[in-house]
């Protein structure tokens, strides 16, 4: 277990967080153990192993950050996801994109080694 002082915590928070992502880190105050920093995954594991409830802040999934419009292989404008979902549903019902959808599924299967 790596050890850092309280001063290190102020000056090297990034390095300490990176270390804590791999294994718990001990924070010392005047040479005495004060805190332990660990990854959220390790915290969840310990809480579940102890059959304790998870705080809602760590139980909820992480937010998905989307930067810009997603490129869609079928050519939909994904800037408005609600609109693209409606357009895709209409195309699926009419069968308009059937061949393109089959081709995209085949491409994904090839990438995954399924076909």
If one counts the domains in the chain, the total is 2
Q: Are residues 92 and 109 in the same domain?
A: yes
For residue 14, the domain's CATH number is 3.40.1620.10
Q: Are residues 41 and 71 in the same domain?
A: no
Average pLDDT over residues 30-57: 91
Average pLDDT over residues 96-105: 84
Q: Are residues 48 and 20 in the same domain?
A: yes
- HEC states along the chain? CEEEEHHHHHHCHHHHHHHHHHCCEEEEECCEEEEEECCHHHHHHHHHHCCCCCCHHHHCCCCCCCCCCCECCCCCECCCHHHHHHHHHHHHHHCCCHHHHHHHHHHHHHHHCCC
pLDDT of residue 16: 94
Q: Which domain holds residue 55?
A: 2-59
């Amino acid at each position: 277990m790596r050890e850092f002082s309280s001063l290190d915590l102020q000056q090297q928070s990034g390095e300490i967080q990176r270390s804590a992502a791999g294994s718990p880190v001990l924070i010392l105050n005047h040479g005495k153990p004060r805190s332990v920093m660990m990854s959220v995954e390790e915290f969840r594991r310990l809480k579940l192993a102890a059959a304790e409830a998870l705080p809602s802040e760590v139980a909820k999934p992480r937010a998905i950050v989307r930067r810009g419009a997603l490129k869609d292989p079928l050519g939909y404008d994904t800037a408005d996801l609600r609109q693209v979902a409606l357009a895709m549903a209409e195309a699926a019902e009419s069968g308009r994109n059937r061949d393109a959808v089959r081709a995209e599924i085949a491409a994904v299967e090839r990438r995954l080694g399924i076909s």
